[in-house]
Structure 1
Amino acid sequence: MFVKGEKERCFAYSVSVACTKNAFVLDLEVAPGNVHDTQVFPDLFKRVKKRHPGIEAVVLDAGYISPAVCREIIKAGALPVMPYKRPMTKKGYFKKRDYVYDEYYDCYLCPNNQVLKYSTTNREGYREYKSDPKICRECPVRSKCTQSNNYTKVVTRHVWEHYLEIAEDIRHTYWGKELYKKRGETIERVFADAKEKHGMRYTHLRGLRKVKHYLTLLFACMNLKKLATWKKKQGTLPPAVPAFSSFLSKIHKIFTFNKTPLPSLAA
């Protein structure tokens, strides 16, 4: 079951695609609609990195923003280039960026300049920092911070959060901004052509294996079309029309020599 934002629910498959800066598709990974993109990325990235070890940067959309994905890319010797993602905070409350992390003392400072100390690390890999309920009880801005019954504010920080911070620093660089703009010319164009020209919006097939075979052929055909266009511009291919006319003339001579009428188009 695929659910995204306010869109209606439907049974669907999702596909993650990797392409070059010239929009040639390198690899793809198909998953059920209820599997998040960040879970699909590691296997796809490892295959692409194995065949193309010289990758310097990986440009992704907001769906792939996570500490695990950033760590995977940086550990492989590449740089993650990601966009800005709005915080998922309720309206009227402080955002997470309003809580300042102190790396030296390993704690957070709230907007009221109170300390949130480290408490524990949960099973999802997030370190929990909790406030003092005695201070929060009398805090004048508590209504914008937390509505907890025990008057305790909890801020979480992933154990790999510093990898995400590296990606955030890259996002603000001129190089990162210019590189991210190329998404509209590359992978976005690949998906647009696949959906509008090759019917990728819907499928009559069922099962990951069948859908992956279909999409592999689809993107292979798109690569071949692009390659043929490139070669034609470079003048490495003969003109298509004269070659086809020559082929038809040879066929016509064969049928004439054998005194066999040419088959009609209807046949």
Structure 2
Amino acid sequence: MKVSTTDPDSGYMFREGKPEGFFYLDHRTVDVKYNLITDVFVTAGNVHDSVPYLSRLDRQRKRFGFEVEAVALDSCYMTTPICKGLEERKIYGVIAHRRFHPTQGLYPKWKFTYEAGRNVYRCPEQQELVYRTTDRHGYRHYASDPKMCAACPG
């Protein structure tokens, strides 16, 4: 873990598309109805945005008497603790979805179609992926013929 020699309370941040170094992050909550900032909280740069969320939500509910029915959050807040915490508080969470980028040269999962009658998937090039096995977590695995995919444009 990197520690700043001039400001040990800061945190070393490394995120894609962001500057790298020692930083602080400010977390803001905005009321959608009136577009007012209702909370600002500062953490070290290496603290994930989702970590202080539930405690800040609780603070605002208590301090201002907010009766929160729903919250809208960025995709980085889609974590098990936040989902569980919102459910326990009986708050409806609308959390953005992040599409994962597949490995270069591979098609993303959503481009495949499933043929239930034959229990196969079909890629965008119409090649079949047949069922191979079910892993110990219950996920079914399908595979293509490597010879057919060798010259794939995808």
Q: TM-score, normalised by structure 1?
A: 0.38
Is 2:150 the counterpart of 1:140? Answer: no
Choose which of 19, 26, 36 in structure 1 pairs with 2:48: 36
Distance 2:134 2:42 in 1: 42
Choose which of 17, 25, 28 in structure 2 pairs with 1:6: 17
CA contact (8 A) 2:25 2:44 kept: yes
Distance 1:110 1:95 in 2: 16
Is 2:18 the counterpart of 1:19? Answer: no
Choose which of 77, 91, 97 in structure 2 pairs with 1:78: 91
Shift of residue 96, structure 1, vs aligned partner = 4.8
Tell me: higher relative CO, structure 1 or 2? Use CA pairs within 8 A at least 6 residues apart: 1
Q: What letter matches 1:25 in structure 2?
A: I
Structure 1 alignment gaps of length 5 or more: 101-108, 121-127, 145-267
Distance 2:111 2:133 in 1: 13
- Helix, strand or coil for the counterpart of 2:22? coil
Change (3 A) 1:71 1:118: farther
Structure 2 alignment gaps of length 5 or more: 1-11, 114-118, 122-128, 150-154
Change (3 A) 1:140 1:79: same
- Helix, strand or coil for the counterpart of 1:44? helix
Shift of residue 24, structure 1, vs aligned partner = 2.5
Shift of residue 118, structure 1, vs aligned partner = 4.4
Distance 1:117 1:86 in 2: 24
Q: What letter matches 1:71 in structure 2?
A: K
Shift of residue 87, structure 1, vs aligned partner = 1.1
Percent identity for Structure 1 against Structure 2: 20
1:165-176 to structure 2, matched below 5 A, reads none
Shift of residue 130, structure 1, vs aligned partner = 6.7
Return 40-49 or 29-38, whichever deviates more. 40-49
Distance 1:81 1:98 in 2: 25
For residues 133-189 of structure 1, what are the alpha-carbon distances to aligned partners after superposition, in whole Å with 9 as ceiling and x for unaligned?
xx85xx316998xxxxxxxxxxxxxxxxxxxxxxxxxxxxxxxxxxxxxxxxxxxxx
Which residue pairs with 2:134 in the alignment?
117
Q: What letter matches 2:98 in structure 1?
A: K
Judging by fraction of residues, say which structure has more strand. 2
CA contact (8 A) 1:119 1:130 kept: no
Q: How many residues align?
A: 124
Q: What letter matches 1:117 in structure 2?
A: T
Which residue pairs with 2:126 in the alignment?
none
For residues 40-72 of structure 1, what are the alpha-carbon distances to aligned partners after superposition, in whole Å with 9 as ceiling and x for unaligned?
222222222334451111111233233432332
Q: What letter matches 2:18 in structure 1?
A: K
Q: What letter matches 1:3 in structure 2?
A: F
Q: What letter matches 2:56 in structure 1?
A: L
Q: What letter matches 2:136 in structure 1?
A: S
Change (3 A) 1:97 1:50: farther
CA contact (8 A) 2:131 2:140 kept: no
CA contact (8 A) 1:65 1:82 kept: yes
Is 2:107 the counterpart of 1:87? Answer: no
Distance 1:44 1:116 in 2: 45
